[in-house]
Amino acid sequence: MGLMSGVHCVAMCGGIVGALGASTGGDVQPLLPRARIWAIHFAYSAGRVATYCVLGALLGALGASSLLLENVLSVQMVLYVFANLLLVAMGLYLMGRTRLLAPLERAGSHLWRRVQPLTRRWLPVRGVAQALPLGLLWGFLPCAMVYGMLATALFSGSAARGALTMLAFGLGTLPNLLLAGMAFRAFREWTRCTPVRIVAGLLVMAMGLIGLFYHAPRLSDAIWRGALCVTG
Protein backbone atom coordinates (compact mmCIF):
# COMPACT_ATOMS: atom_id res chain seq x y z
CA MET A 1 0.00 0.00 0.00
CA GLY A 2 2.77 2.40 0.88
CA LEU A 3 4.60 1.68 -2.36
CA MET A 4 1.47 2.20 -4.48
CA SER A 5 0.59 5.35 -2.53
CA GLY A 6 3.98 6.76 -3.42
CA VAL A 7 2.62 8.40 -6.57
CA HIS A 8 0.49 10.56 -4.27
CA CYS A 9 3.14 10.95 -1.56
CA VAL A 10 5.56 12.51 -4.02
CA ALA A 11 2.98 15.20 -4.77
CA MET A 12 2.28 15.81 -1.06
CA CYS A 13 5.74 15.43 0.50
CA GLY A 14 7.97 15.67 -2.56
CA GLY A 15 8.36 19.41 -2.12
CA ILE A 16 9.83 19.10 1.34
CA VAL A 17 12.20 16.25 0.43
CA GLY A 18 13.25 18.22 -2.62
CA ALA A 19 13.91 21.18 -0.34
CA LEU A 20 16.05 18.94 1.86
CA GLY A 21 18.31 18.34 -1.09
CA ALA A 22 18.37 22.05 -1.93
CA SER A 23 19.10 23.09 1.65
CA THR A 24 22.10 20.79 1.73
CA GLY A 25 23.51 22.09 -1.48
CA GLY A 26 21.77 19.83 -4.01
CA ASP A 27 23.47 19.22 -7.31
CA VAL A 28 24.28 22.89 -7.91
CA GLN A 29 26.44 23.52 -4.86
CA PRO A 30 27.35 20.30 -3.04
CA LEU A 31 28.09 21.75 0.40
CA LEU A 32 27.79 18.38 2.14
CA PRO A 33 29.08 14.89 1.28
CA ARG A 34 26.61 12.62 -0.49
CA ALA A 35 26.52 10.31 2.55
CA ARG A 36 25.41 13.23 4.75
CA ILE A 37 22.61 14.09 2.31
CA TRP A 38 21.36 10.50 2.43
CA ALA A 39 21.51 10.56 6.23
CA ILE A 40 19.36 13.71 6.27
CA HIS A 41 16.74 12.14 4.01
CA PHE A 42 16.64 8.96 6.09
CA ALA A 43 16.33 10.97 9.31
CA TYR A 44 13.45 12.98 7.88
CA SER A 45 11.66 9.81 6.77
CA ALA A 46 12.34 8.12 10.11
CA GLY A 47 10.63 10.98 11.91
CA ARG A 48 7.66 10.91 9.53
CA VAL A 49 7.22 7.14 9.90
CA ALA A 50 7.56 7.41 13.68
CA THR A 51 4.61 9.80 13.75
CA TYR A 52 2.60 7.37 11.61
CA CYS A 53 3.40 4.59 14.10
CA VAL A 54 2.27 6.64 17.08
CA LEU A 55 -1.00 7.53 15.35
CA GLY A 56 -1.46 3.89 14.33
CA ALA A 57 -0.90 2.74 17.90
CA LEU A 58 -3.48 5.20 19.22
CA LEU A 59 -6.11 4.13 16.69
CA GLY A 60 -5.26 0.45 17.14
CA ALA A 61 -5.86 0.83 20.87
CA LEU A 62 -9.10 2.69 20.19
CA GLY A 63 -10.28 -0.06 17.85
CA ALA A 64 -9.40 -2.73 20.40
CA SER A 65 -11.41 -0.96 23.09
CA SER A 66 -14.43 -0.74 20.78
CA LEU A 67 -14.33 -4.52 20.41
CA LEU A 68 -15.23 -4.75 24.09
CA LEU A 69 -18.74 -3.50 23.27
CA GLU A 70 -21.58 -5.97 23.58
CA ASN A 71 -22.30 -6.34 19.86
CA VAL A 72 -18.83 -7.60 18.98
CA LEU A 73 -19.68 -8.96 15.54
CA SER A 74 -21.22 -5.75 14.21
CA VAL A 75 -18.39 -3.58 15.57
CA GLN A 76 -15.67 -5.68 13.96
CA MET A 77 -17.53 -6.01 10.68
CA VAL A 78 -18.30 -2.29 10.44
CA LEU A 79 -14.64 -1.39 11.08
CA TYR A 80 -13.40 -3.95 8.55
CA VAL A 81 -15.87 -2.96 5.83
CA PHE A 82 -15.15 0.75 6.46
CA ALA A 83 -11.39 0.17 6.14
CA ASN A 84 -11.77 -1.69 2.83
CA LEU A 85 -14.22 0.85 1.42
CA LEU A 86 -11.58 3.47 2.12
CA LEU A 87 -9.04 1.37 0.20
CA VAL A 88 -11.36 1.36 -2.80
CA ALA A 89 -11.80 5.12 -2.46
CA MET A 90 -8.02 5.49 -2.19
CA GLY A 91 -7.58 3.64 -5.46
CA LEU A 92 -10.05 5.93 -7.21
CA TYR A 93 -8.36 8.92 -5.56
CA LEU A 94 -4.97 7.87 -6.95
CA MET A 95 -6.47 7.65 -10.45
CA GLY A 96 -8.02 11.09 -10.07
CA ARG A 97 -11.51 9.64 -10.51
CA THR A 98 -13.02 10.88 -7.27
CA ARG A 99 -12.60 13.47 -4.54
CA LEU A 100 -14.33 11.40 -1.87
CA LEU A 101 -11.26 11.53 0.37
CA ALA A 102 -10.72 15.27 -0.03
CA PRO A 103 -12.94 16.04 3.03
CA LEU A 104 -10.56 13.94 5.14
CA GLU A 105 -7.64 16.09 4.07
CA ARG A 106 -9.61 19.26 4.75
CA ALA A 107 -10.46 17.98 8.24
CA GLY A 108 -6.79 17.24 8.92
CA SER A 109 -5.79 20.69 7.75
CA HIS A 110 -7.17 22.19 10.98
CA LEU A 111 -4.51 20.34 12.98
CA TRP A 112 -1.86 21.02 10.35
CA ARG A 113 -2.37 24.78 10.61
CA ARG A 114 -1.26 24.53 14.23
CA VAL A 115 1.67 22.22 13.51
CA GLN A 116 3.10 23.87 10.40
CA PRO A 117 4.51 27.00 12.13
CA LEU A 118 6.63 24.70 14.29
CA THR A 119 8.42 23.34 11.21
CA ARG A 120 10.08 26.70 10.55
CA ARG A 121 12.26 26.21 13.61
CA TRP A 122 14.09 23.33 11.85
CA LEU A 123 14.63 25.04 8.49
CA PRO A 124 16.96 25.23 6.69
CA VAL A 125 18.02 21.63 7.24
CA ARG A 126 21.76 21.29 7.68
CA GLY A 127 21.94 17.93 9.41
CA VAL A 128 20.17 15.02 11.03
CA ALA A 129 19.41 17.07 14.14
CA GLN A 130 17.09 19.28 12.08
CA ALA A 131 15.76 16.60 9.71
CA LEU A 132 14.47 14.22 12.39
CA PRO A 133 12.16 16.64 14.26
CA LEU A 134 11.06 18.12 10.93
CA GLY A 135 10.00 14.63 9.84
CA LEU A 136 8.14 14.07 13.10
CA LEU A 137 6.09 17.21 12.49
CA TRP A 138 5.60 16.54 8.79
CA GLY A 139 3.93 13.25 9.69
CA PHE A 140 0.85 15.34 10.54
CA LEU A 141 0.55 16.70 6.99
CA PRO A 142 -3.05 16.12 5.82
CA CYS A 143 -2.97 13.13 3.48
CA ALA A 144 -5.91 11.01 2.35
CA MET A 145 -3.66 8.00 1.81
CA VAL A 146 -2.39 8.13 5.39
CA TYR A 147 -5.92 8.50 6.71
CA GLY A 148 -7.02 5.50 4.70
CA MET A 149 -4.28 3.37 6.25
CA LEU A 150 -5.12 4.69 9.71
CA ALA A 151 -8.59 3.23 9.19
CA THR A 152 -6.91 -0.13 8.66
CA ALA A 153 -4.88 0.41 11.83
CA LEU A 154 -8.15 1.09 13.65
CA PHE A 155 -9.30 -2.42 12.73
CA SER A 156 -5.99 -4.07 13.64
CA GLY A 157 -7.19 -4.92 17.15
CA SER A 158 -4.31 -3.65 19.30
CA ALA A 159 -1.93 -0.73 19.71
CA ALA A 160 1.04 -2.88 18.67
CA ARG A 161 -0.60 -4.11 15.47
CA GLY A 162 -1.82 -0.60 14.68
CA ALA A 163 1.75 0.69 14.99
CA LEU A 164 3.09 -2.16 12.84
CA THR A 165 0.46 -1.47 10.19
CA MET A 166 1.59 2.13 9.89
CA LEU A 167 5.26 1.12 10.09
CA ALA A 168 4.79 -1.16 7.07
CA PHE A 169 2.94 1.60 5.22
CA GLY A 170 5.60 4.19 6.06
CA LEU A 171 8.43 1.91 4.95
CA GLY A 172 6.58 1.32 1.69
CA THR A 173 6.60 5.04 0.96
CA LEU A 174 10.36 5.32 1.44
CA PRO A 175 11.60 4.31 -2.05
CA ASN A 176 9.41 6.90 -3.76
CA LEU A 177 10.28 9.75 -1.42
CA LEU A 178 13.99 8.96 -1.33
CA LEU A 179 14.09 8.94 -5.12
CA ALA A 180 12.09 12.16 -5.17
CA GLY A 181 14.55 13.74 -2.77
CA MET A 182 17.55 12.89 -4.90
CA ALA A 183 16.00 13.53 -8.33
CA PHE A 184 12.90 15.51 -7.51
CA ARG A 185 11.90 17.03 -10.83
CA ALA A 186 12.37 13.95 -13.00
CA PHE A 187 10.71 11.56 -10.54
CA ARG A 188 7.78 13.88 -9.86
CA GLU A 189 7.03 14.06 -13.57
CA TRP A 190 7.04 10.25 -13.72
CA THR A 191 4.56 9.91 -10.85
CA ARG A 192 2.23 12.37 -12.61
CA CYS A 193 1.93 10.12 -15.68
CA THR A 194 -1.65 8.92 -16.08
CA PRO A 195 -0.76 5.24 -16.74
CA VAL A 196 1.36 5.10 -13.58
CA ARG A 197 -1.42 6.54 -11.43
CA ILE A 198 -4.04 4.26 -13.00
CA VAL A 199 -1.98 1.11 -12.34
CA ALA A 200 -1.30 2.18 -8.75
CA GLY A 201 -4.96 3.03 -8.20
CA LEU A 202 -6.16 -0.29 -9.63
CA LEU A 203 -3.82 -2.24 -7.35
CA VAL A 204 -5.02 -0.37 -4.29
CA MET A 205 -8.66 -0.86 -5.33
CA ALA A 206 -8.02 -4.57 -5.82
CA MET A 207 -6.80 -4.86 -2.22
CA GLY A 208 -9.97 -3.23 -0.95
CA LEU A 209 -12.26 -5.34 -3.15
CA ILE A 210 -10.53 -8.56 -2.08
CA GLY A 211 -11.08 -7.56 1.52
CA LEU A 212 -14.76 -6.80 0.92
CA PHE A 213 -15.75 -9.79 -1.20
CA TYR A 214 -13.31 -12.50 -0.11
CA HIS A 215 -12.09 -11.83 3.43
CA ALA A 216 -15.18 -10.17 4.93
CA PRO A 217 -17.46 -13.26 4.67
CA ARG A 218 -14.75 -15.45 6.15
CA LEU A 219 -14.17 -12.94 8.93
CA SER A 220 -17.85 -13.06 9.82
CA ASP A 221 -17.74 -16.86 10.15
CA ALA A 222 -14.57 -16.71 12.23
CA ILE A 223 -16.03 -14.14 14.64
CA TRP A 224 -19.19 -16.19 15.08
CA ARG A 225 -17.16 -19.34 15.82
CA GLY A 226 -15.10 -17.39 18.38
CA ALA A 227 -18.24 -16.00 19.99
CA LEU A 228 -19.80 -19.47 20.20
CA CYS A 229 -16.65 -20.89 21.81
CA VAL A 230 -16.64 -18.13 24.43
CA THR A 231 -20.35 -18.49 25.28
CA GLY A 232 -20.11 -22.28 25.28
Residue with the bigger pLDDT between 85 and 27: it is 85
* pLDDT at position 28: 39
* pLDDT at position 91: 80
Residue with the bigger pLDDT between 213 and 136: it is 136
Residue with the bigger pLDDT between 140 and 74: it is 140
pLDDT above 90 (res 137): yes
Instruction: Name the DSSP class of 7.
Output: H
Domain that holds residue 194: 2-231
**b/e map 174-210, b = 16+ CB within 10 Å:** bebbbbbbbebeebbeebeeeeebbebbeebbebbee
Q: Give the tens place of pLDDT for each residue, 91-131.
A: 887 777 767 777 777 888 888 889 989 988 888 888 889 99
Q: Give the tens place of pLDDT for each residue, 41-68.
A: 889 999 999 999 999 999 999 888 765 5
pTM to 2 decimals? 0.74
Residues contacting residue 181 through CB under 8 Å, at least 6 positions apart: 17, 18, 20, 21, 41
Q: How far apart are CA 56 and CA 68, in angstroms?
A: 19
Residue with the bigger pLDDT between 72 and 169: it is 169
Task: Region of 125 please: left (phi>0), alpha (psi -120 to 50) or beta.
Answer: beta
Residue 12: pLDDT band with limits 50, 70, 90: low
pLDDT above 60 (res 154): yes
* pLDDT at position 40: 87
Q: Could you give the number of structural domains in the chain?
A: 1
Give the three-state DSSP class for 67: coil
Q: How high is the mean pLDDT of the chain?
A: 75
Q: Which among 148, 146, 12, 173 has a CA at the least distance from the CA of 89?
A: 148
